Amino acid sequence: MLRSAVFLSFAFGLLLFRSDGLAADGSGKTQLFGVTAEGGSFLYVFDRSLSMEGAPLAAAKRELIASLGQLKRVQQFQILFYNQNARLMQPQRMLFADENGKRQAESYIAGIQASGATDHVQALLLALRSGPEVVFFLTDADEPQLTAKELETIRQKNAGSIIHVIEFKSGPAQGKGETLRQLAEQNRGEYKYVDVSKLPAGR
């Protein structure tokens, strides 16, 4: 009886977690600037406003491609670069992280340039409508600050997505990004500060 119970437990474990690191439900792990997330669908929301020009945007693109590279074929993803406008990558649906999906993403990412102003809320609400399990939100703009009303709107419109927030800024953190930290905390995510003065130069 004990032997049967041990066998069933072992078999159940194999079903839940396969040798390729992918759970039986299609979920798996990836990371972005040291923030690790697990899920079956990921939506990357990246600021491309003019202040991201140069090394910040180049670093964001490199890290995005690396994060996509960690996804397995059955996981899904979508990308949204935003400034004062927000638009999902075409086609505007979740894509599988297979060879074709990743190739399409790399081509799209390569064509992104920094320009314009910043509208966080429009971008986040558009992302949440796709219903991803995980949102990676990256910005260098804590201005305009998210208001308490905007934070509440985002929380109410969020049907269950985890929102991880990566903030780009120059110099030590020292109390910067308070509303961005709140955004992560209110949506079960992690906040990460990245000092852009320490990023490698890039195009």
Distances (CA, A) of 80 to 2, 13, 20, 124, 187: 52, 36, 28, 9, 19
In order along its 203 residues, the chain shows pLDDT tens digits of: 545 443 444 444 434 444 455 555 567 899 999 999 999 999 999 999 999 999 999 999 999 999 999 999 999 999 999 999 999 999 999 999 999 999 999 999 999 999 999 999 999 999 999 999 999 999 998 777 899 999 999 999 999 999 999 999 988 876 667 899 999 999 999 999 999 988 876 55
Give 95's DSSP letter: E
* 8 Å CB contact between 77 and 104: no
Q: What is the pLDDT of residue 2?
A: 46
54: burial class by Cβ within 10 Å (0-12, 13-18, 19+)? middle
Domain ranges of the chain: 23-198
Q: Are 141 and 166 in contact (CB under 8 A)?
A: no
Percent of the chain that is helix, strand, coil (3-state, to 5): 40, 25, 35
- Give the whole-angstrom CA distance, residue 202 versus residue 55: 5
Cα separation, 103 vs 162, whole angstroms? 26
- Where are any strands of DSSP class E within the chain? 28-32, 35-39, 41-47, 76-82, 86-88, 95-96, 134-139, 162-169, 191-195
What gap in Å lies between CA 52 and CA 124, rounded to an integer?
18
Residue 92 CB burial class (10 angstroms; 0-12, 13-18, ≥19) = exposed
- Which pLDDT does position 201 carry in this prediction? 67
CB 122 within 8 A of CB 158: no
Contact 76, 116 (CB under 8 A): no
Distance CA 61, CA 106 (A): 9
Tell me the fold of 23-198.
Answer: Rossmann fold (3.40.50)
Q: Which residues of 120-154 are buried (b: 16+ CB within 10 A; e: fewer)?
A: bbebbebbbebebbbbbbbbbbbeeebeeebbeeb
pLDDT of residue 21: 52
Structure confidence at residue 157 (pLDDT) = 97
